[in-house]
Amino acid sequence: MDIIIRNAKLRDRKDQVDIVIAKDKIAAVEPKIMEKGHREIDAAGSLVLPGLFNLHFHADKCLLGEIMRPNVSGTLPEAIEITNDFKRNYRPEEVASRAIRACEVGVKNGTTFFRLFADVGTIGGLRAARGLLLAKEKMRRYCDVQVVAFPQEGIARDPGAAELLEEAMREGCDIIGGLPWYEYTDADAREHIDICFEIAKRHDRDIHMLVDDTDDPNSRSLEYLALKTMREGFQGRVAASHCGAMGSYNDVYAAKIVDMVATANVTISVNAHINLVCSARIDHEPRRRGIARVKELLARGANVISSQDDVNDPYYPFGKPDPLECVSMIAHVAQLTLPHELDMAMSMVTENAAKAARIADYGIAPGNLADLVVIGAPSVHEAIRLQPPRKHVFKRGREVARSTLSQELLT
């Protein structure tokens, strides 16, 4: 027996269990294991979760906040403008070093799987993608990384971007991104989505787009993405981030879209941090929040995840990064406060995200990969409330991070 985590609290059972890790897999989960492990860890009633996910992270831009000029308007267009100044001069090694710094913090906070978005377009070429592919390679022993080839300046708006996306996939990117709502017209947005599906099909890759990330109630890219997903037989292989326009759709149209999203099995990624600070900057009061209709999506059985879009970049000045922060944030914005709702929120960085990434051997059960996090709290409720240190983080059966917190009240 390699490692035994004793006295672990799991989400789905009342009693405490011992978890046996053998090589890279979970070998047993039982109330009392009699044998001794080569290494024994006493969880002492702490909650143990399977590895946490962040499926939407612009790691190529992360930490630019340390060196950039301030975003004076706080708007998306100014953030794009500031980022472009950097992108013209990106070096892959420099992009990788910032991405690794942020991902290392994410791993310490229990993240064992990242989807990193790399801007691909005529301004920065493939430099960001090459940087994140380098980061993926260097972080291999700590976490799984998928790199998304993401057309931040659009496709119709940025002639040459489609060819660069194609090249990015050939160079090893894992997921094809998209930003259809950013195109000038609905027709261009639909063409954008069509091009992304063509590339995805050619390379047999999944899709993760940023969709209807606007307060305009007439933005229609989620509708077409869901339709296209059904028509192309891509159910379960497409994720749509933001979808904040859902909050502004009229209720009748929103009900249709919620139904289409669930039918197409499109995962909705809510990135609440960024939308709370960036959306509705043109509104007076009441100010909209740019958040997808989480409770309606959940009620219809759609897959919803919560992700940390930005870490100290021109778009958003904060971000730890920490999936438990994302859980807390979505619990607030979607008003998920009842016990079963807190559990739903926790699933948005665990099971739901694993489903979106199509990871089959996920979860705390014998035979699954030993990606585990020992949380410094006994329950989901306390984990969200306190966001305590992650005592131990395991990736494929190997301990990759450990944390302690020492606080004293002095007299």
What is the Cα gyration radius of the chain? 21
- 8-state DSSP, 273: H
Interface mask toward Zn ion for 219-258; x: CB under 5 A:
----------------------------------------
The residues near 207 (Cβ < 8 Å, ≥ 6 apart) are 175, 176, 177, 178, 196, 197, 200, 234, 237, 238, 239
Q: Counting contacts by CB under 5 A, is residue 313 touching Zn ion? A: no
Shortest distance, CB of residue 117 to Zn ion, whole angstroms? 6
Q: Counting contacts by CB under 5 A, is residue 325 touching Zn ion? A: no
The residues near 45 (Cβ < 8 Å, ≥ 6 apart) are 7, 9, 16, 378
Q: Which is nearer to Zn ion, 57 or 249 (CB)?
A: 57
The residue nearest Zn ion at its CB is 309
Q: Which is nearer to Zn ion, 239 or 298 (CB)?
A: 239
Specify the pairing of strand 390-395 against strand 372-375.
Answer: antiparallel
Q: Which is nearer to Zn ion, 309 or 325 (CB)?
A: 309
The residues near 274 (Cβ < 8 Å, ≥ 6 apart) are 309, 310, 315, 316
The residues near 266 (Cβ < 8 Å, ≥ 6 apart) are 225, 226, 229, 238, 239, 240, 302, 303
Q: Which is nearer to Zn ion, 131 or 389 (CB)?
A: 131
> Cα 350–353–355 angle (5° rounding)?
110
CA gap 196, 225 in Å, rounded: 10
Q: Of 115, 304, 281, which Cα lies nearest the Cα of 213?
A: 281
Shortest distance, CB of residue 99 to Zn ion, whole angstroms? 14
Interface mask toward Zn ion for 269-308; x: CB under 5 A:
----------------------------------------
Shortest distance, CB of residue 271 to Zn ion, whole angstroms? 6
Strand partners, 6: 42
User: Pick from 144, 158, 215, 309: which binds Zn ion (CB under 5 A)?
Assistant: 309
Q: Which is nearer to Zn ion, 212 or 309 (CB)?
A: 309
Shortest distance, CB of residue 150 to Zn ion, whole angstroms? 8
CA gap 270, 290 in Å, rounded: 10
CA gap 245, 181 in Å, rounded: 10
Shortest distance, CB of residue 12 to Zn ion, whole angstroms? 32
Q: Which is nearer to Zn ion, 206 or 309 (CB)?
A: 309
Shortest distance, CB of residue 209 to Zn ion, whole angstroms? 10
Q: Which is nearer to Zn ion, 16 or 308 (CB)?
A: 308
Shortest distance, CB of residue 318 to Zn ion, whole angstroms? 15
Q: How far apart are the first and last CA of the chain?
A: 46
User: Any long-range contacts for 275-278 (C-beta under 8 Å, 24+ apart)?
Assistant: 275/213, 275/242, 275/244, 276/329, 276/333, 277/74, 277/316, 278/74, 278/75, 278/76, 278/79, 278/315, 278/316
Q: Which is nearer to Zn ion, 309 or 322 (CB)?
A: 309
Shortest distance, CB of residue 29 to Zn ion, whole angstroms? 36
CA-CA-CA-CA dihedral for 320, 324, 327, 329, to nearest 10: -40
Shortest distance, CB of residue 247 to Zn ion, whole angstroms? 17
Shortest distance, CB of residue 311 to Zn ion, whole angstroms? 11
Query: With CB under 5 A as the contact rule, which of the stretches 72-80, 85-93, 309-317, 401-409 interacts with Zn ion?
Result: 309-317
CA gap 208, 196 in Å, rounded: 10
Number of residues near Zn ion (by CB under 5 A): 1
Q: Which is nearer to Zn ion, 18 or 309 (CB)?
A: 309
Q: Which two tokens stand for residue 41?
A: 């860890």
Q: Which is nearer to Zn ion, 17 or 211 (CB)?
A: 211
- 8-state DSSP, 254: H
Q: Are 322 and 103 in contact (CB under 8 A)?
A: no
Binding interface with Zn ion (CB under 5 A): 309
